[in-house]
Amino acid sequence: MEMLKKNLEKMIDSLSAEDRNKLKNRLEDLISVYPFNEYEYIISSLLGLGKIAFDDYLEIRDEYIARNMYLYIFEISAPRGFGEQWAQGHLKELVPEVIKPTRKLEKNYSGEYDFLYQMPNKKIIKIEVKASRAVDFKNNEPLYVKALAWESKKPFDMNFQQVKPKCCDVFVWVGVWRDVIKYWVLSSKEVENNKYYSKGQHRGNTGEGQLHLKRDNIREFGKYEVQPNDLLNKIIKAYKRQNSK
């Protein structure tokens, strides 16, 4: 959004003084109602004034989409809609081998983890998915406005909440930026023993905690980062680490 705004401002500044002043004055009083907003108005005005051609508009559009491939994920407002529906569905698309547990598969299952994977030796891996989005920590605008790009230097705080290490074998963390999605796979004990893991997120909730992934500590989790096409392999390896002595 910042890059788009800067590029459009440059185009506005290159207009004649009369056209520039008219456009800026109109923008000051502009009322935005989705999908008609200031960017739509600026681009249509530049087209009408002959400052850009239709092909230029298409180039602006394509470049913006390339920089914001995952911006739509920030428009999911309900926490459950993001964490349960989108994140779990996303992992299932990437790793179709994992399945949703039921009491037919796990007699004592009560919703304490999200997926299971049965290995060839019949052992079951219990998997918990946690997701968060990188947004400008100091901005109070809606999520889709303050969504950050991976290369942004602005501070963010991705809080993985309601973490219960005793309830699963492996954690899959999904971090969403406006232009990339990152994945980390950790064994349950690697989460529980991590120096950034804070126990006791809510009073009385024993065995539950949270972990904040921030700009100043994210590099420390680099050894757990995985590529999407290698998720299942890393899940299995994390399970083996979980059960190693």
**Which pLDDT does position 155 carry in this prediction?**
92
Angle value at C-alpha 94, between 93 and 99, nearest 5 degrees:
65
Note whether 130 and 84 are within 8 A (CB).
no
Sign of torsion over alpha carbons 126, 92, 176, 219 = positive
**Which pLDDT does position 34 carry in this prediction?**
66
**Which pLDDT does position 66 carry in this prediction?**
84
106, HSE (Cβ side, Cα atoms, 13 Å): 21
Note whether 88 and 192 are within 8 A (CB).
no
**Which pLDDT does position 96 carry in this prediction?**
97
**Which pLDDT does position 1 carry in this prediction?**
64
Note whether 175 and 217 are within 8 A (CB).
no
Q: Which residues of the chain have pLDDT under 70?
A: 1, 34, 200-206
- DSSP labels, 175-203: EE-SS-EEEEEEEHHHHHT-TTEEE-SST
Compute the residue count for the chain: 245
**Which pLDDT does position 78 carry in this prediction?**
78
CA–CA gap between residue 174 and residue 4 (Å, rounded)? 27
Sort strands 181-187 and 124-133 into parallel, antiparallel or unpaired: unpaired
CA–CA gap between residue 144 and residue 147 (Å, rounded)? 5
Q: Provide the terminal-to-terminal Cα distance of the chain, rounded to the nearest Å.
A: 49
Give the pair of three-digit tokens for residue 235: 């899940």
CA–CA gap between residue 20 and residue 96 (Å, rounded)? 54
Give the pair of three-digit tokens for residue 10: 């440059």
Task: Indicate whether this model's pTM tops 0.85.
Answer: no
**Which pLDDT does position 112 carry in this prediction?**
87
The residues pairing with 29 across neighbouring beta strands, listed in sequence order, are: none
Q: Where are the domains of the chain?
A: 2-67, 71-242
**Which pLDDT does position 233 carry in this prediction?**
97
The architecture CATH gives domain 71-242: 3-Layer(aba) Sandwich (3.40)
3-state per-residue secondary structure call for 104-133: CCCCCCCCCCCEEEECCCCCEEEEEEEEEE
